[in-house]
A and B are shown apart, each in its own frame.
Chain A
Amino acid sequence: MNSNSSSQPIIELRDVVKVYSTAAGDFPALKGINMQVRAGEFLGIIGKSGAGKSTLLNMITGVDHLTEGEVLVHANGSSVSVHRMKEDEIAFWRGRTMGVVFQSFQLLPMLTLVENITLPMDLCGNFHPKRSRERALELLRLMEIEEHADKFPSLISGGQQQRVAIARALANDPPILIADEPTGSLDSVTADHIFELFQRLVEEQGKTIVMVTHDQSLAPRFSRTLRIRDGELDSANLAEADLRSGGRRKR
């Protein structure tokens, strides 16, 4: 478990610019993002399709290169500048620092649920193979899906698959969880359950969660929301005002 105090930033973005060069010209997807995520936050970033949400996450995870600026992550007792690391360093660091969950669940169809979770542990080498199954079962229990451990993904529902995907993201016990529309393809009852599980991860396990979504109505579920539009964050004041009005106010 990570030690955290709420004033300590765990993720910092400084003047992050991302420009995509296409045949049609340059397209600025992020236009100078400055933001901090505090340890133990459940931060929601809300924006429409094309606003830059996923690009922003790709900058934090280091999956894609940035054009200008810097991303700092202070976790596991070290501070790193994500985009200054080499490719192989970044993959190793990411495996231990961040778990990622997407809208589609990305479980491997030919592996059972428990094997899907032991896989990243085996790849990362964080846990002894004998310990990895045990830990995978613990995570499945945490996600309330342990009874299906030896089933294959296609035999369980979408909501159940997403819970397994979250368990897999937690396999190497990363302090940070990054989620890209994780409830986007789930019905509202199932989505509610996923949110409850996220909230428990924050409260009981001290995880920091950064989630992006296009769904305005989810705003009250986060401990803080930021809004992104055309590659820029709206001012935090407006976002917090929105939060107080239950996310219903339209601008």
Chain B
Amino acid sequence: MSPRRSSPQPVSVQHAMTSADAVIDMHGVVKTFKSAAGEFTVLKGIDLTIYRGEFVSIVGKSGSGKSTLLNMITGIDHPTAGRVVIGGTDIYTGVTESQRSKWRGRNLGIVFQFFQLMPMLTLLENVMLPMDYAEMYDFDERPKRAMELLELVGLEKFANKLPVLVSTGQQQLAAIARALACDPPLLVADEPTGNLDTKSADVIIDLFEELSRRGKTIVMVTHDPSLTSRTTRNIIISDGELINETVAKALPWLRHRHMLEFTKLAQTEIYPPKATIISRDAHVEKFFMIHKGEVEVVLFDRKHGETVISRLKPGEFFGEIELMRGGKSIANVRAGANAPVEVLTIKREDFQRVMEQSPITAEALGKIVQERLKEHRAADSRSGRGLFSFFRRRP
């Protein structure tokens, strides 16, 4: 996205999190596979930062590049171009395969859809394996530590059983315990619940939530939308590119390809505290999505003075009523009083074109428009003004 100085008082982009908090930092990551049929670019320049303690889901259609993205983080595959820094270590530049293998053993836990326990080892022995491999912990300490991890996942009673004698859900819990064996700061999971019933899947996600509360960073690839509501952050990949997270949050009804289109079209505008974003009686030519900060929707009249009708937060939008129904704005929208606000904007013609292609989104927005109009008729009559144009999106 290229910021454009279209806002009245733009200021420079600042990120609240510093790079010191970053566990994963990917810059311009490209992955091209060469085959007899030619070259195929699966990742088209990924920039992604994930911070400590985040529980992140990565979703995307089959073939979108989500597993390849994960393989770039684990060092299981190599990027064609770009940089991947994990926990401060550039894992591809000047690193041999065996150094990377050693690094992986100590810094990364990996969980896959199929549980990959060694069939002829007990659960306890399976959990001890990575400790042997990474030469972590004293030999005598390993069984004790493995037992603690089995307790953490509730399998202490089955420690001496072989994998075939426990349920698939329990096998996956044991695989997670094994992924935690060397106490890695980062846990990476590829469809970890894909082979489990709902109840077992819930147990796994509960465990991930608990681990992220304890400061582990968890990155999970899934195609199950019901899981994304449980994570602290959701990243969508479409055709090898990441969808802007604010676009995805504001307009979840859009198809991934339309989200990607908006990601590319969106302009960033930044307003200092209290700056006006839209003035009363102005024509609205853009659709606004809040990326950072808050905006206030404000009415003025002689009798009451200033009334703040609503406050909109990141992931919410405004301007849709004017774009969908036409007409001028009759309220002011301004940046919140305490901090700058960063918004993404889509031009009227782009917005309308995509709405025509996405009837589901148009319908959903239409309902929100109706609700907002209804909700605010009361405010409208109190203030004695005409139809009020900007309403908060329902949470």
- A residues near B, CB below 8 A? 54, 58, 63-64, 87, 91, 94-95, 100, 102, 104-112, 119-120, 123, 150, 152-155
Contacts and interface: CB of A to CB of B under 8 A. Distances in A.
B76 A107 contact: no
Contact of A108 (B118, B160, B162): B118
Interface string B336-371: 000000000000000000000000000000000000
A106 B190 contact: no
Given A94-B120, A100-B120, A155-B77, A109 B164 contact: no
Given A106-B118, A152-B71, 14 more contacts: A63-B162, A64-B164, A95-B120, A100-B119, A100-B120, A104-B116, A106-B119, A109-B110, A110-B74, A119-B118, A120-B120, A154-B71, A155-B71, A155-B76
B115 interface: yes
Given A63-B165, A100-B120, A110 B110 contact: yes
A58 to B, nearest CB: 6
B328 interface: no
A184 B160 CA distance: 28
A21 B379 CA distance: 68
Q: 5 shortest A-B CB distances, which residue pairs?
A: A104-B114, A152-B76, A109-B110, A63-B162, A109-B112
Contacts of A58: 164-165
B130 A110 contact: yes
Interface in B109-130: 110-112, 114-121, 129-130
Interface string B138-171: 0000000000000000000000101111000000
A154 B119 CA distance: 19
Contacts of B331: none
A100 B121 CA distance: 12
B74 to A, nearest CB: 8
Interface of B: 67, 71, 74, 76-77, 97, 101, 104-105, 108, 110-112, 114-121, 129-130, 133, 160, 162-165, 190
A94 B119 CA distance: 11
29 contacts: A54-B164, A58-B164, A87-B160, A95-B120, A100-B120, A104-B114, A104-B115, A105-B114, A106-B115, A106-B116, A106-B118, A106-B163, A107-B116, A108-B129, A109-B76, A109-B110, A109-B112, A110-B74, A110-B105, A110-B110, A110-B130, A123-B121, A150-B97, A152-B71, A152-B77, A153-B116, A154-B112, A155-B71, A155-B76
Q: Which of B97, B120, B129 has the most CB atoms of chain A within a 10 A radius of its CB?
A: B120
Contacts of B104: 110
A91 B164 contact: no
Contacts of B115: 104, 106
A19 to B, nearest CB: 15
A136 B186 CA distance: 31
A153 B113 CA distance: 13
Contacts of A112: 101
Contacts of B165: 58, 63-64
A112 B101 CA distance: 9
Contacts of A111: 133
A126 B160 CA distance: 23
A56 to B, nearest CB: 12
A91 B122 CA distance: 10
A108 B105 CA distance: 12
A145 B105 CA distance: 25
A64 B166 CA distance: 11
Nearest to A168: B118
B145 to A, nearest CB: 18
Given A63-B162, A110-B130, A91 B112 contact: no
B359 to A, nearest CB: 38
A87 B114 CA distance: 27
Given A110-B108, A155-B71, A102 B119 contact: yes
A184 to B, nearest CB: 12
B162 to A, nearest CB: 5
B106 to A, nearest CB: 11
A63 B114 contact: no
Contacts of B112: 109, 154
A102 B171 CA distance: 14
Nearest to B164: A63
Nearest to B104: A110
Contacts of A54: 164
Nearest to B160: A87
Query: Which of A102, A120, A123, A154 has the most B CB atoms < 10 Å from its CB?
Result: A154
